[in-house]
Structure 1
Amino acid sequence: MIAGVSPTPTDPIEKDRSRKRSTINDIARLANVSKKTVSRVINESPFVKEETRLRVNAIIREVGFEPDPQARGLAFRRSFLIGMIYDNPTPQYVVNMQQGILDAMRGTSYGLLVHPCERTSPTYLSDLRGFIERQKLFGVILTPSISEDERMVKMLREFECHYVRIASVMLDKPSTMVVTHDADGAAEAAHYLAELGHERIAHISGPPSFRSAHERRRGFREALAQRGVKLRPSFDREGNYTFDSGIAAARELLALKPRPTAIFAGNDEMAAGVYKVAHELGIDIPRQLSVIGFDDSATALRLWPVLTSVRLPVREMGKLATDKLFGRQAKKKPAEPELSEVIPKLIIRESTAAPSE
């Protein structure tokens, strides 16, 4: 506005300035958009064209509009909440996933609700239905093994709730997936142990309810076979992705005669259990026993000797999934699927060496 010049009464924005308080309806009228669009702009929804967003925000600033908190959610008739649903027994995995989701949410108006559940519970699905209905979530990040449950996905579709699934293999259309290729990471671990000269190699897998456990075991076995090494039935143990299950499996494996010279654990928590048993039995790592974990979590760096592990970038996975939920993933050619994927990588440290016998 030019100094000393009074606004003309025909200027619509100046008319609104003269009012005691502008409303969301006023903003919609002045911007020539719907009230729903204004609410989306106020709540920083990703589903608004940039040109429209700039125009609405300019009018909001011009008239000094202050949004009514009750107007939030008008755009979708939902809360501005993202749900992270998990049944993973590994605390570090859950924390890293949360951090990645929060990285992607920074600077937005969205909040995060973390919802643990037990997939084997008889009330599992009804509990989740109640959670989603009560919270009216904008969207959901599904982590393994919840992401592998087609009943859960069907329910989200019925609610028209956005979702992204994180899984070791493709389970859905590319636009809803972050694929982690766990079998490839396990295969790299197998090739490395075979290159070191190990033949008596054992594996502690995760729980059968997790597709990742099957994929890691499959990748490991197939890679060993390519090297002419067979995973003996007596060297194949099932764990539960927990420290205690790693202890139980390691006690059985290290009591065998001859015992394995190397153990690949399905995650770092179980690898830590192997360390405990080896220490109790006076077995030196890596001179008498090589150990490899999976995930390359903070646990790997806290063990001594420092654990060789397959790095799965869990924090990055959480961020990728949330960006995809917001529609912010990198644009590709129209003919290409919008697939997000991460590639595991073996991080070699001090817990592996050539066999001494």
Structure 2
Amino acid sequence: LGPIQASTGERVAPGQRVTFTLAGLVNGKLDVEPETGLLHFVGSDGQGATQQWYLPTNVYLNRQLQRIVRYNLAGVMVDDLFAAPPTGQTWTILRAFRARTEPLPESNPNWVWTITKQNDSSKTVLAETQPLDKTGYTWTAPDTGGEFQINVELSMAGDEAPLPVASLMLKVEAPSTPTPTPTPTSTASGGSLASNKPTPTRTATPRPATPVAPSRASSSFLLAYTKWDGHFHDLYIADSRTGQTQLILTHAAGPSFSTDKKRLFFIGEQGVDQQIREGRVACTFGTISEGIVSIDLTYPVQDICQVQSDVWTCERKEIDVGRGPSDVCTANNVSVYQNLDWKVGSARWTRVAPDNDSVVYDAKPGGGYRIYFRAVDPTSQQFH
């Protein structure tokens, strides 16, 4: 299920909010199958492919034993009983089966997030339990610096010990200490008050730091691709040098880089304006809809919803003088663009011309699918 990923990286400023997620959960979901009681999730096999995983729980064991009772089967044999002794809850279930008593009440596993400050005493500063369908956790870093260990465990039903899942070391930067200003002093001499004040040192008032725009991506090692989740496409970018992949957007298909790799064009599918992460709306693009869309790329690449923690600002405006209007959503100097004539809901994929002046796509505004070319300049006309 791991490792744990922090939205800020492994260094955090005092008071900063951090969201922790599990990288091994492909769709961010872990649940107990209602029919069997098996723990189920979609995870990675470590080589880039996804697999369905099913893990037995005491709920599963309890239901299997009740089926044996219901159909009056001969009995149960426990393999390697002394090599790996059952836990307390498992023993209770086996005894109930042997005595043919009423089945035990079922309870599903929960997540347990624990944060421990690493110092002489290694004090636990937080321990919180969350339901199984909430796989992420948000924490506000303390105002004091230090190293913190973040642990996540699965608390199974009954009195069993929690199952360790993953851990992460996180460093909270120490708060900056302001430099004190010298205090003026005075002394009396010859019956009159003589000033002996040191010349005060001018201290420049610090200005708020200007947000730094993420650097533009220009690497030739990036690969854009999509995955089908059974309903829509998810857009990823992979770095062929490191093998790392990053989710960029959901409800996005048919990607294509501009020649300079400063922008990425794709086809927005139904729902692209509301990006869902961990079962909730993480960011919205109110004026962006189905059809051709382009976004500014940053390097290193990141989830579009992590570019700005607050809402994106969306408006319809002219990007350049003399051009037609476009829908533009902006956050932290990164923009998502959609010219009004790009809103073609039947489009399936797009490619950018080598000169970056036009895009090609397929669509069926009427009849069957055809190949269309449309200039990036919104005042130009389409032809096919």
TM range (shorter): under 0.3
TM-score (norm 2): 0.24
Greater fraction strand: 2
Choose 1 or 2 for highest CA Rg.
2
Greater fraction helix: 1
